[in-house]
């Protein structure tokens, strides 16, 4: 049952990545535009390592499909970093779970999977909890937070990538898939680097950020790659639906990390909301988890 450990370890790692991303984007690099390029560089290097470790595998047409999923994944990172720049890490961690909903919808449309009654219930639980988490009071009126739509776009891209790569695990081990998807992420990085504003933001971040910050950025991107590797390892050993559903615990890890980091480094990480707001977020995160389990 080691796949359960991998399934839980992956969201635990990604929750830590979310907090570090929020700190880096808001306090260090000062903007989301440059961050996807850091992701592309780190993922490419680690993908080459995985490719060599796997024995230079030739996946043929499957390799092209997996590479395409990585390209789409890079587009998800673009929207994700925009969201993390305007939303707190715990909110983003909760909203990431909506990708399960989009994955379900795309699976029905393109893979012709059937939608049972329990999945319909899970569908509405996930969507309702996501919208409730996003609502903010502005001038006495409830409005969706700024991070809502970027996260919706990120989730759509994550889901599309997941649907593309889903079938590969029937015949492939996780390491070649991890490598080929990473090459797709790198190609996506090349594509967004064609934008002059992105290149300028990247050069500015290199010039204005100290060596310590750059090392932190690369270390965090490496941590993100580790989270992805743990997830792939989990679904290569256990049931894909259940391992994916285990990702629903990420919001709880994120909330816990927020309090620990605020206690250990109060000058760096702000104190998370408490009291009624915390209880509300925990309850809504619980509804997200329930919806994901119903959709598995």
Residue of 295, 252, 6 whose CA lies nearest to 124: 295
The answer to whether the CB of 285 falls within 8 A of the CB of 252 is yes
- Least confident window among 101-115, 132-146, 202-216, 255-269: 132-146
| pTM summary value | 0.85
CA distance linking residue 249 with residue 145, whole number of Å: 22
Weakest-pLDDT range from 17-26, 43-52, 61-70, 98-107: 98-107
For the chain, the average pLDDT equals 83
Predicted local confidence at residue 260, as pLDDT = 85
Q: Do residues 150 and 80 touch, judged by C-beta distance below 8 A?
A: yes
Would you tell me the crossing angle of helices 99-110 and 275-295 to the nearest 10 degrees?
Answer: 20
Overall residue count recorded for the chain in this entry: 296
Residue 136 or 35, more confident: 35
Per-residue three-class SS string for 108-169: HHHCCCCCCHHHHHHHHHHHHHHHHHHEEEECCEEEECCCHHHHHHHHHHHHHHHHHHHHHH
Q: What is the pLDDT of residues 51-76, one digit of tens each?
A: 999 999 998 888 999 999 999 999 99
**Ramachandran area for residue 99 (φ above 0: left; ψ -120 to 50: alpha; else beta):** alpha
Residue 66 in tokens = 């997996």
Q: Degrees (nearest 5) of the Cα angle 260, 266, 269? A: 75
């Amino acid at each position: 049952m080691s796949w359960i450990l991998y399934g839980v370890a992956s969201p635990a790692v990604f929750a830590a990545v979310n907090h570090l991303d929020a700190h880096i984007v808001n306090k260090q690099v000062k903007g989301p535009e440059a961050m996807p390029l850091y992701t592309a560089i780190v993922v490419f290097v680690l993908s080459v390592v995985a490719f060599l470790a796997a024995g230079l595998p030739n996946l043929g047409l499957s390799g092209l499909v997996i590479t395409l999923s990585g390209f789409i994944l890079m587009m998800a990172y673009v929207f994700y970093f925009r969201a993390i720049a305007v939303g707190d890490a715990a909110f983003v961690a909760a909203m990431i779970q909506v990708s399960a909903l989009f994955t379900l919808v795309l699976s029905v449309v393109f893979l012709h999977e059937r939608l049972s009654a329990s999945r319909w219930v899970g569908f509405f639980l996930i969507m309702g909890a996501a919208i409730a988490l996003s609502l903010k009071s502005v001038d006495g009126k409830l409005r969706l937070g700024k991070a809502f739509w970027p996260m919706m776009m990120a989730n759509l891209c994550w889901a599309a990538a997941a649907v593309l790569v889903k079938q590969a695990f029937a015949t492939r081990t996780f390491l070649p898939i991890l490598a080929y998807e990473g090459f797709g992420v790198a190609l996506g990085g090349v594509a967004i680097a064609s934008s002059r504003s992105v290149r300028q933001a990247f050069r500015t971040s290199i010039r204005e950020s100290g060596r310590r910050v750059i090392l932190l950025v690369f270390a965090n991107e490496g941590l993100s790659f580790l989270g992805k590797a743990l997830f792939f390892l989990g679904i290569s050993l256990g049931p894909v639906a259940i391992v994916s559903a285990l990702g629903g615990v990420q919001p709880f890890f994120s909330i816990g990390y927020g309090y620990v980091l605020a206690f250990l480094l109060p000058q760096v990480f702000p104190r998370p909301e408490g009291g009624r707001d915390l209880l509300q977020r925990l309850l809504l995160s619980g509804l997200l988890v329930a919806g994901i389990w119903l959709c598995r």
